[in-house]
Copies of this chain bind each other. A is one copy, B any other.
Amino acid sequence: MPTSRRVVLAARPDGIPQARHFAVAEAEVPDLKEGEILVRNQFLSVEPAMRGWVSAVANYSQPVGIGAVMRSFASGEVVASRHPGFVPGEKVTGMFGWQELATVPASAVSRKVTETDLPLSASLGVLGLNGLTAYFALLDVGAPRPGDTVVVSTAAGSVGSAVGQIARLMGCRTVAIAGGPDKVRQCVEDFGYDAAIDYKAGEDLATALAAAAPRGVDVYFDNTSGPVSDTVLAQLAIGARVVLCGTASVPSWDPWPTGPRPERHLLVKRARMAGFIVFDYAARYGEALPRLASWIREGRLRYAEDILDGIEAAPDAIAGLYRGENRGKRLIRLHD
């Protein structure tokens, strides 16, 4: 019976999961049951949301159990199938976990990856939930119009970088907010933002934003919440749309954090602020994916990846995200 290496949750973290909370183990791969497929993972995803998946606090889903394989998105190739919808050789992406070989029901597959001319890794980022989030949250909730000024927080991130580029495709002026000179340079040079502000540079963010968005902010794509967002909300244009996509700057919601009340900004500017969760758009993914793929092929949608090699890199990979060490979508590559 073949064996497979896997990363299991060894201890429940109280906060950001660190390398010590995981263990790499080897296990036998069970025989396929009816309706299951065997996937040989090529790329494992690493993302901030994993912090919530291992947290004991109620979240969108049940926490990963102690001793269980770490939940994750992954992409790979079907190597055996007892499901009529899949045949060996097909590329798939889905919830396959941090492991080399995944025995999963067909329901674990998010989709078959048919854009085989593009790198399979993209299926975990710009052609996965990151790109889908950017596409639907910006276009459906942000409702950008040509000439709008679109401001993006964590603008160099996997979602933010796609938001900025799609907004430019819509004819918008794009303003990045990112932390540090490397990310700011990446925003302008790689992702085509019209302006980029380093909120860590010590310059007054309100002043820098007023210079970059002199007519006010028509769309604010908010991945952070916190003081950066408070500053942007004070500079909304009339009729502005604020897309709430993440709250990365808030370390904890227990105790619940306070901040300047946004009501008056929203009232005076007749602006709206709306939350977005990509899974609500699952029925429409097929609308977005071919467009995202076309833009990539045309060179109009670029993306950055931060690839770590080998399953041994996984246990520390989430903590590394929170240390800010990645410069693109973080992935674990298991083989070429």
Q: Which residues on A are within 8 Å of B, measured CB to CB?
A: 222, 225, 229, 244-247, 250, 253, 256-277, 280
Besides A250-B263, A266-B274, A267-B275, 15 new A-B residue pairs in contact (Cβ under 8 A), listed by A number: A225-B261, A225-B263, A225-B264, A244-B263, A247-B263, A247-B264, A256-B260, A262-B273, A263-B273, A266-B273, A266-B275, A268-B277, A270-B276, A272-B274, A273-B273
User: Bound state CA distance, A260 and B266, in angstroms?
Assistant: 16
Pick the contact of A280: B264, B270, B273 (CB < 8 A): B270
Q: Are B275 and A269 in contact (CB under 8 A)?
A: yes
Pick the contact of A261: B257, B264, B265 (CB < 8 A): B257
Q: Are B268 and A275 in contact (CB under 8 A)?
A: yes
User: Bound state CA distance, A269 and B275, in angstroms?
Assistant: 7
Tell me which residues across on chain B come within 8 A of A265, comparing CB atoms: 275
Q: Are B267 and A244 in contact (CB under 8 A)?
A: yes
Tell me which residues across on chain B come within 8 A of A262, comparing CB atoms: 262, 273
Pick the contact of A258: B258, B268, B272, B276 (CB < 8 A): B258
Tell me which residues across on chain B come within 8 A of A261, comparing CB atoms: 225, 250, 256-259
* Minimum distance in angstroms from A34 CB to a CB of chain B: 36
Number of identical monomers bound together in the oligomeric complex = 2
* Minimum distance in angstroms from A265 CB to a CB of chain B: 8
Given known A-B contacts A250-B261, A263-B247, A274 and B271 have beta carbons under 8 A apart:
yes
Tell me which residues across on chain B come within 8 A of A250, comparing CB atoms: 261, 263-264
User: Bound state CA distance, A258 and B229, in angstroms?
Assistant: 14
User: Bound state CA distance, A141 and B10, in angstroms?
Assistant: 49
User: Bound state CA distance, A319 and B275, in angstroms?
Assistant: 39
* Minimum distance in angstroms from A48 CB to a CB of chain B: 14
Q: Are A274 and B270 in contact (CB under 8 A)?
A: yes
Tell me which residues across on chain B come within 8 A of A269, comparing CB atoms: 275
Pick the contact of A263: B222, B268, B270, B280 (CB < 8 A): B222
User: Bound state CA distance, A250 and B268, in angstroms?
Assistant: 15
Pick the contact of A275: B256, B257, B271 (CB < 8 A): B271
Tell me which residues across on chain B come within 8 A of A244, comparing CB atoms: 263, 266-267
* Minimum distance in angstroms from A137 CB to a CB of chain B: 11
Residue picked from A262, A275, A280, most chain B C-beta under 10 Å: A275
User: Bound state CA distance, A290 and B246, in angstroms?
Assistant: 44
Q: Are A277 and B270 in contact (CB under 8 A)?
A: yes
Q: Are A273 and B274 in contact (CB under 8 A)?
A: yes
8 nearest A-B pairs in the assembled complex, by CB-CB distance: A272-B274, A267-B275, A266-B275, A225-B263, A258-B258, A244-B267, A259-B261, A270-B275
Given known A-B contacts A225-B261, A256-B260, A256-B261, A276 and B267 have beta carbons under 8 A apart:
yes
User: Bound state CA distance, A271 and B244, in angstroms?
Assistant: 10
Tell me which residues across on chain B come within 8 A of A268, comparing CB atoms: 275, 277
Q: Are B263 and A267 in contact (CB under 8 A)?
A: no
* Minimum distance in angstroms from A245 CB to a CB of chain B: 8
User: Bound state CA distance, A303 and B92, in angstroms?
Assistant: 62
Tell me which residues across on chain B come within 8 A of A270, comparing CB atoms: 274-277, 280
Pick the contact of A277: B225, B229, B247, B267 (CB < 8 A): B267
